[in-house]
């Protein structure tokens, strides 16, 4: 099955009751396509939902990563009224449009906010409104949908998913009325395989020309079509109960970036702050002590069983952690490498000696000195209590804090990505053999 289906020019993509299919996209001058994510700070269902961590990434980070990596947009924006959301948006590569109080109310509509954005950014000719609550969006979805406007002349494109659900008319209990079927004949219920189902908006994105927004006040109109997404990518989050379900879905179907490796061969892990709490205990005699969690030790062994080499990183400024690392290395058969103030300088030779590229390396750090390596590694993570500067650089933020299972959690994440890659390679092999 193809990853998606899209409607090309024809009656199938035209919405009932839409304005005549006049092509409003024929504006003079250069085209400027802007991705726009609306992220108000005043979410009622889940406070600051747009930057709450989902599977180790701020919710808005999932769609921003897909938008940036699609290479389809002249600019990528987040429209917000909140300082914390602005900070996260910039860390994930977006420009920020500070919306006015007039469009930041509970009663404000998406269309009002988009109109303000277009008014303030007159160079924009196509607005691609991407919903922050669609974390399973991939670059190929955006690319294929946008091409319906840029290559096929549509004025608006929106995402849908195919549902096989029978609908019934709602009735008030006190009315005494009987319900009636809306999309089936009860005496002749079709089997799922005999029914095409119905196309429903899944809320992932709405792409529209500037002219349609400004002149007609519409997000869907003119020459309009839909872009069909498979159900596994159609995830929307409105209330807290959606969160754990969405997290499991995103771990399996989410987009983790262009640099995500198919296989991790080398894992580099800071001992201080990752395998320890970052605290040093003093005994009555003045002896310094640190502790390590047995779950983290198991995480190291899990990686080793899958042929991932684990290297422990220490600092000359932390002799207590050095002693712990040496003992742990003996128990787990790990190499210990001492790094200085700029870890990348000490770790580049380690990677080169193994004839690896950085996208086949996983890195777990805990603070500002780790930022360059966190950015460079194919998979990178920080404990849940890491400072913001490290969280913004990492591709995954653990729920667990340092010294309390963060390493084990990241190990499971690495192995899950490996399993996904293996499954995809097997599927590719089957697809190729079918030709």
Q: How many contiguous H segments (helices) and E segments (strands) does the chain have?
A: 12, 18
> Crossing angle for the helix pair 242-253 and 406-433, nearest 10 degrees?
50
Assigned token pair, 27: 């504006």
Nearest alpha carbon to residue 405 among 290, 329, 292: 292
Count of residues in the chain: 435
What is the CA angle 355-360-362, rounded to 5?
120
CA 130 to chain centre: 12
Asked whether 159 and 202 are in contact (CB, 8 A), the reply is yes
From CA 250, how far away is CA 133, in angstroms rounded?
Answer: 12
From CA 341, how far away is CA 343, in angstroms rounded?
Answer: 6
From CA 62, how far away is CA 253, in angstroms rounded?
Answer: 12
Assigned token pair, 168: 């019934």
- Long-range contacts for 417-422 (Cβ within 8 Å, ≥24 apart)? 417/256, 417/260, 417/261, 417/264, 417/379, 418/262, 418/263, 418/264, 418/306, 420/252, 421/261, 421/262, 421/263
Q: What is the DSSP letter of 369?
A: G
Residues 6+ apart with CB under 8 A from 380: 362, 363, 364, 365, 373, 374, 393, 394, 395, 396
Set 189, 252, 354, 429: catalytic member = 189
Identify whether 189 is a catalytic site residue: yes
Asked whether 80 and 48 are in contact (CB, 8 A), the reply is no
Residues 6+ apart with CB under 8 A from 145: 6, 157, 159, 205, 207, 227
Asked whether 370 and 343 are in contact (CB, 8 A), the reply is yes
The residues annotated with a catalytic role in the active site are 189
């Amino acid at each position: 099955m193809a990853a998606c289906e899209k409607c090309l020019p024809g009656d199938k993509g035209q919405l009932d009751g839409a304005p005549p299919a006049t092509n409003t996209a024929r504006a003079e001058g250069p085209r400027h396509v802007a991705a726009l994510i609306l992220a108000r700070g005043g979410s009622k269902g889940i406070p600051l939902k747009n930057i709450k961590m989902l599977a180790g990434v701020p919710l808005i980070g999932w769609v921003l990563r897909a938008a940036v990596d699609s290479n389809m947009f002249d600019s990528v924006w987040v429209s917000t009224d909140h300082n914390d959301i602005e900070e996260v948006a910039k860390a994930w590569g977006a420009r920020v449009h500070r919306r006015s109080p007039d469009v930041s109310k509970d009663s404000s509509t998406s269309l009002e906010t988009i109109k303000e954005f277009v008014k303030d950014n007159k160079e924009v000719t196509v607005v691609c409104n991407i919903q922050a609550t669609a974390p399973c969006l991939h670059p190929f979805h955006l690319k294929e949908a946008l091409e319906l406007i840029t290559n096929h002349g549509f004025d608006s494109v929106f995402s849908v998913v195919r549902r096989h659900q029978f609908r019934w008319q709602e009735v008030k209990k006190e009315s005494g009325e009987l319900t009636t079927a809306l999309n089936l004949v009860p005496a002749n219920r079709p089997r799922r395989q005999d029914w095409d189902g119905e196309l429903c908006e899944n809320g992932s994105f709405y792409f529209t020309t500037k002219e349609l927004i400004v002149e007609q006040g519409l997000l869907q109109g003119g020459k309009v079509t839909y872009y069909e997404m498979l159900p596994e990518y159609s995830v929307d989050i409105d209330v807290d109960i959606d969160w754990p379900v969405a997290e499991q879905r995103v771990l399996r179907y989410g987009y983790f970036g262009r640099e995500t490796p198919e296989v991790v061969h080398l894992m580099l892990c800071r001992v201080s702050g990752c395998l320890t709490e970052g605290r040093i205990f003093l005994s009555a005699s003045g002896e310094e002590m640190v502790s390590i969690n047995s779950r983290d030790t198991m995480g190291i062994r899990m990686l080793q069983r899958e042929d991932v080499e684990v290297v422990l990183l220490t600092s000359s400024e932390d002799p207590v952690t050095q002693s712990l690392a040496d003992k742990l290395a003996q128990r787990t058969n790990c190499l210990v490498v001492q790094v200085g103030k700029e870890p990348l300088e000490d770790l580049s030779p380690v990677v080169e000696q193994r004839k690896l590229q950085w996208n086949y390396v996983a890195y777990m750090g805990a603070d500002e000195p780790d930022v360059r390596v966190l950015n460079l590694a194919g998979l990178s993570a920080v404990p849940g209590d890491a400072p913001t500067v490290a969280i913004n650089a990492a591709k995954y933020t653990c729920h667990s804090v340092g010294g309390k299972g963060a390493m084990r959690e990241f190990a499971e994440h690495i192995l899950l990505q490996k399993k996904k890659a293996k499954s995809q390679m097997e599927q590719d092999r089957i697809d190729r053999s079918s030709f």
